[in-house]
Structure 1
């Protein structure tokens, strides 16, 4: 008679965990299994180490970029405050244009002093990485210019800066203040061929 409580042959071995298969008869883990476990742990540690190195490099670059930006743009707020001084000096220099000088020696000396002060002031700004944006005659650029009005001027391509109402400034590679300008309208499109005049066409059919 067959014992109903008897376990079929092989059932116990199939139910045994995989780790047990790697154990030696006395219950210890085999060297091969131990090596595989250590290799897996080493690979994990190596991956964590590489990730940590990448994070440290990114942090170093970010800190370096912040230091460089701090050096470039540290005077941004101060620069904006002193632009009004530059504007006033420009207005004072324009108050006595060169064609109106030569009549009064005192006025001439005063105008010359304003010109020298304005020139020195501009050089000081450039020393600190602050450059003027004076786009007269250039194509309008919304990144650097602010259009205040349009002027009918058919001698210029549409969108050309025909008047600078207020000089703009950039600090390093950032816009500090846009140039306020007037742009032309109604002229020929940039790159379009100029209208022909009688006799201007050369006949090449001969």
Structure 2
């Protein structure tokens, strides 16, 4: 019995070793197959890369479009408002011309001789020509008299008791206001009515409240 066991011992050990080796090889093969299965499919990888590139392209296109619009707006503003400082200075000259004209009362004009009349007309023509030139460059006069007071365009200098017009209506213009494009070059200095009936807009707001 002991001899038979001793004879079969080496063979049994070898067989067991072979079986263990075969099992390990099978496990390695299974793990290798599992690893291969977990690898990203090349087509899926290309699709993901394409989607990423497309997203980057759309973002870049949007940024370029915003840059183009902003640049166009800045160029337009530069063209529209380039003469702002110059126009403001020229308005001061126009104001002086207007003051010079208004210093002569109507009686003096009526009694003026031909030379003085020609001088007055020349000053008036110069003023009109200057304002017309400014208008060609986008400078426009703010119509204030008879309008509802708007702090964005008007600067109230005093109040005028007048029950015949709606309250806060501009009834007198002390100095004309001007705008260039959508910007106020200088507000109109005005006198506003006080104590009159409410304007239609104010009456509607009161009724709603």
2:5 maps to none
Q: Are 2:176 and 1:167 equivalent residues in the alignment?
A: yes
Q: Are 2:121 and 1:129 equivalent residues in the alignment?
A: no
1:87-102 residue pairs with structure 2 within 5 A? 87-98=95-106, 100-102=108-110
Range with greater deviation from structure 2 (155-164 or 101-110) = 101-110
Q: Are 2:60 and 1:52 equivalent residues in the alignment?
A: yes
1:29-68 residue pairs with structure 2 within 5 A? 33-68=41-76
Q: Contact 1:130–1:169 (CA<8 Å) still a contact in 2?
A: yes
For structure 2, which runs of at least 5 residues remain unmatched after alignment? 1-22, 204-209
Deviation of the 1:19 alpha carbon: 6.1
Q: 1:124 to 1:98 in 2, by over 3 A?
A: farther
Q: Contact 1:156–1:188 (CA<8 Å) still a contact in 2?
A: yes
1:9-20 residue pairs with structure 2 within 5 A? 20=36
Compute the TM-score of the two structures, normalised by the length of structure 2. Answer: 0.76
Q: Are 2:155 and 1:139 equivalent residues in the alignment?
A: no
2:93 maps to 85
Deviations 1:8-34 (A, max 9, x none): x99x97x99x864245xxxxx6xxx11
Q: Contact 1:158–1:184 (CA<8 Å) still a contact in 2?
A: yes
Q: Structure 1 runs of 4+ off > 3 angstroms? A: 97-100
Q: Are 2:130 and 1:114 equivalent residues in the alignment?
A: no
2:11 maps to none
Count of aligned pairs between the two proteins: 178
Bigger share in helix: 2
Q: 1:19 to 1:60 in 2, by over 3 A?
A: farther
Q: Distance in 1 between matches of 2:99 and 2:35?
A: 88
Rg: which structure is higher? Answer: 2
Q: Contact 1:76–1:176 (CA<8 Å) still a contact in 2?
A: yes
CA RMSD of aligned residues (A): 2.7
Q: 1:53 to 1:19 in 2, by over 3 A?
A: farther
2:18 maps to none
For structure 1, which runs of at least 5 residues remain unmatched after alignment? 1-5, 24-28, 193-206
Compute the TM-score of the two structures, normalised by the length of structure 1. Answer: 0.77
Q: 1:187 aligns with which of 180, 193, 196?
A: 196
